[in-house]
């Protein structure tokens, strides 16, 4: 059982992860961003005002952040927001991350802008477990978007899905049931159900 604090701890220990944004043309952009601080609820980071990523977050605040360590990923999908008291936050972040002075020595640090994730969802995904494991947590006021597939009452209990499932995580029943926390979302059950009883969660 993984907890939200374990996810935040991984993010801080690994430090660098990938922040994805969308640009003015609606295309995805990504780059390495270090997480400078965490607390019980969220993560804090910096970027420079001259960078495209700064403009992108301001224009379109929904971002995706992904951190990976030894086949366990922690992903945050949510809204990035600028922090007030800019200088105070920058100084605190540099105090806790002294290596930042090698990149932005002296007062150069003030070209940076501090951000945090105001609200969103954290997804932990562990590929080392069999079956794989997913866990979701929220940051702030956010409705988690479920993904994957559901088996409906149209299920004829034939067992086709159970046999095909690469992770073997479909349980018998009326209807059969997908263990959502262990599902790859591959779609093999969905494509092969003879009674079309399996639906994509929208």
What does the binding site for a second copy look like in residue numbers (CB under 8 A)? Answer: 16, 18, 20-22, 26-32, 48-52, 60, 62-66, 68, 71, 73, 75, 77, 102-106, 108, 111-112, 125, 127, 130, 132, 147-149, 164, 166-167, 184-188, 190-191, 200
Contact 142, 120 (CB under 8 A): yes
199/53 Cα distance (integer angstroms): 37
> What is the closest distance, in whole angstroms, from the C-beta atom of residue 189 to a second copy in the complex?
8
Helix (H, G, I), strand (E, B) or coil at 44: strand
3 vs 200 by CB, closer to a second copy? 200
Backbone dihedral angles phi then psi of residue 140, each to the nearest 5 degrees: 60, -155
66 vs 179 by CB, closer to a second copy? 66
> What is the closest distance, in whole angstroms, from the C-beta atom of residue 90 to a second copy in the complex?
13
Contact 140, 80 (CB under 8 A): no
> What is the closest distance, in whole angstroms, from the C-beta atom of residue 8 to a second copy in the complex?
18
40 vs 110 by CB, closer to a second copy? 110
Query: What Cα–Cα distance (Å) separates residue 160 from each residue in 38, 43, 88, 151, 193?
Result: 45, 43, 59, 12, 7
> What is the closest distance, in whole angstroms, from the C-beta atom of residue 171 to a second copy in the complex?
18
44 vs 54 by CB, closer to a second copy? 54
- The pair of structure tokens assigned to 202 is 């929208």
40 vs 114 by CB, closer to a second copy? 114
Pairing of strands 177-178, 133-139: unpaired
> What is the closest distance, in whole angstroms, from the C-beta atom of residue 150 to a second copy in the complex?
12
* DSSP calls for 52-64: HHHHHHHH--EEE
Count of positions (residues) in the chain: 202
């Amino acid at each position: 059982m993984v907890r939200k604090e374990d996810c935040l701890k991984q993010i801080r220990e690994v430090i660098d992860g990938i922040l994805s944004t969308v640009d003015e043309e609606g295309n995805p952009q990504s780059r390495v961003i270090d997480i400078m601080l965490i607390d019980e609820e969220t993560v804090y980071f910096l970027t420079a005002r001259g960078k495209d990523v700064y403009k992108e977050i301001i224009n379109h605040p929904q971002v995706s952040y992904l951190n990976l360590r030894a086949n366990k990923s922690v992903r945050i999908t949510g809204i990035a927001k600028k922090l007030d008291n800019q200088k105070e936050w920058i100084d605190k972040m540099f105090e806790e991350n002294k290596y930042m002075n090698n990149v932005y020595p002296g007062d150069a640090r003030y070209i940076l802008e501090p951000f945090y994730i105001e609200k969103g969802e954290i997804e932990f995904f562990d590929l080392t477990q069999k079956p794989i494991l997913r866990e979701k947590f929220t940051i702030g006021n956010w409705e988690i978007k479920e993904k994957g597939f559901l088996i409906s009452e149209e299920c004829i209990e034939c067992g086709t899905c159970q046999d095909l499932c690469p992770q073997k995580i479909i349980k018998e029943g009326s209807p059969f049931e997908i263990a959502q926390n262990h599902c790859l979302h591959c779609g093999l059950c969905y494509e092969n159900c003879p009674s079309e009883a399996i639906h994509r969660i929208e």
